[in-house]
Amino acid sequence: MAVVGLLVLFPISSLIAGSFWSGYPGYPGEWTLKNYLDAFADPLLPTLFINSLVYAGGASLLATLLAVFYAFITARTDTPGRGLLSYLPYIDLMTPALLTNIAWIYLLHPRVGLINNFIGQVFGPDAPVLNIYSLPGMIFITGLNTSSLVYIGIQAAFKSMNPEYEDVSRVCGAGIRRTTFSVTLKLTMPAILSMTLLNFIIVLEVFETPSMIGLPANIPVFMSTIYNAVSWSIPPKTGQATALAVILLMIVLTFTTVYRRYTARVERYAVITGRGYQPNVIKLGKWRYATFLLLMVYAAVLIVLPISLVLLLSFKIFWDPNNLFGDFTLKNYVEVLNHPHLFTAIINSTLFSAAAASILVFLIPIVVYLSRRVKARGASVVENVAMMPQAYPGLVLALGLLWGYITLPIGIYGTAAILVIAYVTRFMPHVTRLFSGVVVQIHQELEESSRVCGSGFMSSIRRIVLPLLRPAMVGAWVYAFIVSFRELSASVLLVAPGTEVISVLLWGLWINGEDRQFAAAIMILVGILALIISTVLLIARLIRARVLLARRP
C-alpha cells in the first residue's frame, strides 16, 4: 500500500500543486486559483464537454458491444477456430493507435480513402462518401481500437463462470437467448461495467484520434485541448492543462465511487464458488458458421484492413489509391534499419516493459485483494489511489513524474528506473481494473473452506486465489507489457541518451514527416511484439500443462 501510495501520490501531488501555482513549477510564482478560473471561464468549455462525453460515451459503448460479442462467441460457443481467434485482440493491442488512425484516414478519407475510392468506382462519382473526419468517424475508430482492451478485461469473466446458474435456467425452460441475456450477461455485468467505465475514462484521455481526426474536422474535445496546451504551445500552458486534469480527476473519482457502491454486495456477483466448474459451451449447430463469419469480419476490420494498409504504405513513396501495387520500394525499411538507435530502442523497450509488467502483476493483485477482502477501515482507499493516474492524460502525468522525480536526490532522473516507474504508475489503473473485475467474482467461501481445512492465510492465497487468478495474471502481464512497449507520452519526457525506447523513435519519425519510414518501423515493431507475446503465451500454456500434469493422481 505504501508503494502504491508513493508511486501515485508523489507525481500527482506535484501536478495538483502545479495547478495552483502561477509560475512554472520550481520557478518563482504565487498560489492562485487563476488556472481554474480561466478553465471555467473559457467559452469553449461547454462544447468541449459535450463533444467529449458524446465521443467517450459512444466509443465506450461501441467497444463494449463488440467486446462482449467477441468474448461470448470465443469463450462460450463451439464456433470453429474460436481458440485461435481468441488471441486476435492481443494482436490489435500491439498496434499503436497512431497506426490505426493513419490506416483509417487512408481508408475513409473523403477524397483519397481506399473504401471511398472503391464506392466511387462501383456506384459512380456521385455516390455518398464515408467521411472519417466526423464525430461518428472518431467514435468508430476509437471504439474499434479500444474494444480489444475491453475484451481482455471481460474474457476471463466469461471463461471463469460457474455453469450451474445457466444449467438451472435451461432446466427451468429458458432457451439459449434468454439464458444468455438473463443469466450469463447479468453475471458478467460487474466485469463488463468495470471495463466500460475504464474504457470511458481511457477514451477521455486518448489524444491520437482527437488530434489526427478531430482537429482537422474542427471537433475539439477535452483531451485535444489539454494536449494542445501542453504539446503545441511554447511555453506550454501547463497551468491550464493541470487545472483541467484536476477537474477530470474529480469526475473519475466520482465514477469510481458510484461503481464501488454498485458492486458493494460482491457476493451477488461471485460466480466462482467452492464447487468445481467447467464453463458450458453452447452448441450453435449450423449457426456456428454464421458466428465464424462474424468473427472474421470483426478480425478483418480490427486488424487485417489497418495492418494491410500500413504494410502497403511501408512499401510506397506516396499514396495513390489508383496505383496500389505499383512503385514499390524497400527504401523505407532500409532507412529504418539503418537508424542509429533502432536496436538499442528495441532492447530497451523490451526490458523496461517486461520489468513494469512484472511489477504490476505482482503488486496490483495484492492491492485489489486487500482492498476487496480486508474489512479494515480505509482499505478500499488504496484501490481508489491506484486509480488516480487514470484521470491524468499521459502527457500531463508525465509532467508530474518529471517535476516530482527530478527533485529527488537519489538520482533516478535520466536512468532506466524512471521509465519503469512511469510505466508502472501510468498503467496501474488499467491493471487494477483488470483484476478488480475478476477478484469480485471469486467467492470468499473458497478461502474460508481452505482455512477451515487448516490452511493459513498465505497458503490459501497460494493454493486457492493465485491459481484462480492465473488467467487474469497472464492477460494482465501481456496487456501491461504491450501498453508499456507502446507508451509514448511519459517516455518522450523521461528518456535520456542510452535509454531510448521504440515509441519515442517512432514518434520522431512521424513528427518529422517520415510517415513511410514510420509505417515500415511500425511493421517491424508489430512483428517483434508478436514474437514476444507468442513466446510468453506459449510459456504460460506449457506451465499450465505441467501444473495439470503434476496434479494427476
Only one of the segments 24-32, 385-393, 419-427, 449-457 lies at the binding site for other proteins (rule: CB under 8 A); that segment is 24-32
CB 13, CB 25: distance < 8 Å: no
**DSSP state for residue 504 in the 8-state scheme:** H
Least distance between other proteins and beta carbon 109 (Å)? 6
What is the spatial distance between Cα 257 and Cα 370, in angstroms, rounded to a whole number? 17
What is the spatial distance between Cα 281 and Cα 77, in angstroms, rounded to a whole number? 5
| Options 188, 196, 211, 503; binder of other proteins; rule CB under 8 A | 211
Least distance between other proteins and beta carbon 40 (Å)? 20
306 burial type by CB count under 10 A (0-12 exposed, 13-18 middle, 19+ buried): buried
What is the spatial distance between Cα 450 and Cα 440, in angstroms, rounded to a whole number? 18
Cα dihedral 139, 140, 145, 149 sign? positive
Using CB under 8 A as the binding rule, whether residue 235 contacts other proteins is answered as yes
Least distance between other proteins and beta carbon 389 (Å)? 18
Output 56 or 505, the one with its CB closest to other proteins. 505
Only one of the segments 190-198, 331-339, 359-367, 383-391 lies at the binding site for other proteins (rule: CB under 8 A); that segment is 331-339
CB atoms within 10 A of CB 229: 20
Output 131 or 358, the one with its CB closest to other proteins. 131
Using CB under 8 A as the binding rule, whether residue 31 contacts other proteins is answered as no
Give the x/- contact pattern for other proteins in 506-525, rule: CB under 8 A: -xx--xxxxx----------
| Options 84, 171, 172, 234; binder of other proteins; rule CB under 8 A | 234
Q: Which long-range contacts (CB under 8 A, 24 or more apart) does 510-519 make?
A: 510/98, 514/335, 515/102, 515/313, 516/313, 516/314, 516/316, 516/317, 516/318, 516/332, 517/332, 517/335, 517/336, 518/98, 519/99, 519/102, 519/310, 519/311, 519/313, 519/314, 519/332
Using CB under 8 A as the binding rule, whether residue 308 contacts other proteins is answered as no
Using CB under 8 A as the binding rule, whether residue 230 contacts other proteins is answered as yes
Q: How many residues bind other proteins (CB under 8 A)?
A: 51
Output 81 or 216, the one with its CB closest to other proteins. 216
Using CB under 8 A as the binding rule, whether residue 250 contacts other proteins is answered as no
Least distance between other proteins and beta carbon 29 (Å)? 11
Using CB under 8 A as the binding rule, whether residue 320 contacts other proteins is answered as yes
Using CB under 8 A as the binding rule, whether residue 337 contacts other proteins is answered as no
Output 117 or 449, the one with its CB closest to other proteins. 117
Using CB under 8 A as the binding rule, whether residue 293 contacts other proteins is answered as no
Least distance between other proteins and beta carbon 181 (Å)? 45
Output 297 or 324, the one with its CB closest to other proteins. 324
Cα dihedral 149, 153, 156, 159 sign? negative
Least distance between other proteins and beta carbon 501 (Å)? 12
Using CB under 8 A as the binding rule, whether residue 231 contacts other proteins is answered as yes
Least distance between other proteins and beta carbon 219 (Å)? 12
Using CB under 8 A as the binding rule, whether residue 319 contacts other proteins is answered as yes
CA of 316: how far to CAs of 106, 167, 320, 325, 519, in Å?
Answer: 13, 56, 9, 9, 10
- At 98, the amino acid letter reads L
Only one of the segments 215-223, 273-281, 476-484, 527-535 lies at the binding site for other proteins (rule: CB under 8 A); that segment is 215-223
What is the spatial distance between Cα 498 and Cα 345, in angstroms, rounded to a whole number? 9
CB 421, CB 29: distance < 8 Å: no
Output 5 or 498, the one with its CB closest to other proteins. 498
Only one of the segments 20-28, 239-247, 358-366, 536-544 lies at the binding site for other proteins (rule: CB under 8 A); that segment is 20-28
Q: Of 267, 311, 342, 368, nearest to 508 (Cα)?
A: 342
The angle at the Cα of 414, spanning 515 to 487, to the nearest 5 degrees, equals 40
Looking at residues 41 to 70 of the shown chain, list those that interact with other proteins (rule: CB under 8 A): none
Q: Of 472, 505, 475, nearest to 487 (Cα)?
A: 505
Cell output for 443: 467467492
Least distance between other proteins and beta carbon 26 (Å)? 3
CB 493, CB 399: distance < 8 Å: yes
Output 30 or 377, the one with its CB closest to other proteins. 30
Using CB under 8 A as the binding rule, whether residue 218 contacts other proteins is answered as yes
Greatest CA separation found in the chain?
77
Output 339 or 451, the one with its CB closest to other proteins. 339
Looking at residues 98 to 137 of the shown chain, list those that interact with other proteins (rule: CB under 8 A): 106, 109, 111-112
Beta bridge partners, 21, equal 31
Give the x/- contact pattern for other proteins in 413-432, rule: CB under 8 A: xx------------------
Least distance between other proteins and beta carbon 512 (Å)? 5
CA of 189: how far to CAs of 183, 269, 415, 433, in Å?
Answer: 10, 8, 42, 14
Residue 516 gets the label, from left (phi > 0), alpha (psi -120 to 50) or beta, of alpha
Looking at residues 394 to 413 of the shown chain, list those that interact with other proteins (rule: CB under 8 A): 399, 402-403, 406-407, 413
Looking at residues 470 to 509 of the shown chain, list those that interact with other proteins (rule: CB under 8 A): 492-493, 495-498, 507-508
What is the spatial distance between Cα 525 and Cα 95, in angstroms, rounded to a whole number? 9
Output 198 or 229, the one with its CB closest to other proteins. 229
Only one of the segments 153-161, 176-184, 339-347, 366-374 lies at the binding site for other proteins (rule: CB under 8 A); that segment is 339-347
Look-up of cell digits 490506416: 103
Least distance between other proteins and beta carbon 327 (Å)? 7
To the nearest 10°, the Cα dihedral for 17, 21, 23, 25? Answer: -10
Task: Kindly list the residues in this chain that would bind other proteins in the complex (CB under 8 A).
Answer: 24-27, 106, 109, 111-112, 211, 215-216, 218, 228, 230-236, 238, 317-320, 327, 331, 335, 339-341, 399, 402-403, 406-407, 413-414, 492-493, 495-498, 507-508, 511-515
